[in-house]
Amino acid sequence: MHLERRARPVFAAALAAAAALFATLPAQAARVEGPRAATCPAPVPEGARCYTGADGTGALYWIAIPKDWNRGVLVMHAHGGPETGPPKLERSEEDLKRWAVTVKAGYAWAGSTYRRGGYGVTMAAEDTERLRQLFVRHFGEPRRTLLHGQSYGAGVAAKAAELYAPAGGAKGPYDGLLLTSGVLGGGNSAYDFRLDLRVVYQYVCRNHPKPDEPQYPLWQGLPLDAKLTRKELADRVRDCTGVGLPAAQRTPEQAARLKTILTAVKIPERSLVGHLNWATWLFQDLTQLRLQGRNPFGNVGVSYAAAPAEAAALNAGVLRYAADPQAKGALAADSQPTGRTALPTVGLHAIDDPTAFVELENAYRRIRDAAGTGELLVQSFSDEREHSYLSDSEYPALFAALLDWIDKGEKPTPAGLAQRCAALMPRYDTDGKNGCHIQPAWQPPPLEQRVPARAP
């Protein structure tokens, strides 16, 4: 089924209301704090200057400027998640520490927590742009400004690129776009499989919720007044499937249940608990706090893979839900990329990413091609198994290639990115553990091979 048709908003009213639903400001006025000097956390390189502050909407931020920066290149970082609690400055600090290689490469770095926790792609794009404006007011206009989005933040950065550097529009404040480990294609298609996980898990394990607990539609994630903790959920998963125990200690029944779940949902064992957490607490936030109790996800007609002996019973027994058209439209309006941006874009995704399926890159490629901006997109793929961070040498290679594309008109290739990464290894891969893993010839299959298509 065509991706754009799947995510097409159904009601115009949903489009108009989406911004208000997802970008609600805090009830109380937030403080405004200009950048104040802070001690740079390790491993930010020695000599860098660091600052923290608050943007006045509820978002907190960290800024790091390398020694001898001289208004060179600024990297605006859009973080992953989303977090479901209130903004915490520690979140932005963690991102700065994780991507300290950006500062080591000579670029200034700025990252916002976003104004509130919970889902809201357009909101987070606005918060990223607000921080960029704050940076310019206090530190001057950089020579170049790049957007870097990681995971959920890649969707945020893609949205910001469309809002502030649209195709065919006047030159915007950004010069290039870097998307790594991206949750791309919009929340509708990116999160469908988590509804699949909830219904299959419940069919197999029947403990989320337990029979003696209040029952609720699984697309809700969890009732707002529920007291379930992440540890308690992990314990339930362990009891049912043995995940968390050595394989040798699992009963045959646990092993069989686990195989059924992983086969149907096509996720690795190591990410089962994490995805179930997202399908619980993020769904709780998304459906009940952002979409006013409406469901954007459906699985009517979906056929789940299973062993021949159990396929009929599984597909007859899982709970089925139809998506609410207004909720589906509002989620698409907030998060679905249009592909209409003038920014040169470079992407990197681990082939065995356990959190954001690499097939999402195929979905984004189709969106960019349909928008007529496919020539501005270069995607690369690495032989890695991680999501939250890839090789130290790969990020500077991507930044440098993107800048050469902007400054010199030299469009990168996956092979060229691999060569550039290898050349940078002596500087950035100091412990010999990371290396360069880009596979120039590899291309991702369609998302529909991983996640069953939905009814339009």
Label residue 46 exposed, middle or buried (CB < 10 Å: 0-12, 13-18, 19+): exposed
**Looking at the predicted structure, is the pLDDT value of residue 5 above 70?**
no
pLDDT band (50, 70, 90) for residue 434: confident
Could you tell me the pTM of the whole model? 0.93
pLDDT at 70: 85
pLDDT band (50, 70, 90) for residue 1: very low
pLDDT at 114: 97
pLDDT band (50, 70, 90) for residue 435: confident
**Looking at the predicted structure, is the pLDDT value of residue 293 above 80?**
yes
pLDDT at 23: 62
State percent of the chain over pLDDT 90.
Answer: 88
pLDDT band (50, 70, 90) for residue 17: low
Q: How far apart are CA 378 and CA 374, in angstroms?
A: 8
**Chain mean pLDDT for the chain:** 93
Residues 90-132: pLDDT tens digits? 999 999 999 999 999 999 999 999 999 999 999 999 999 999 9
Domains of the chain plus CATH, in order, are 31-186+341-449 (3.40.50.1820), 190-331 (no CATH)
Residues 29-55: pLDDT tens digits? 567 778 999 999 999 999 999 999 999
Label residue 445 exposed, middle or buried (CB < 10 Å: 0-12, 13-18, 19+): exposed
Amino acid at 426: P
* Beta bridge partners of residue 17, listed in sequence order: none
pLDDT at 3: 36
Residues 333-356: pLDDT tens digits? 999 999 999 999 999 999 999 999
Starting at the edge strand that comes first in sequence, how are the strands of the sheet with 377-382 ordered? 32-38, 49-55, 60-65, 108-112, 73-78, 144-150, 176-180, 345-350, 377-382
Mean pLDDT of the 302-321 span: 97
Amino acid at 278: W
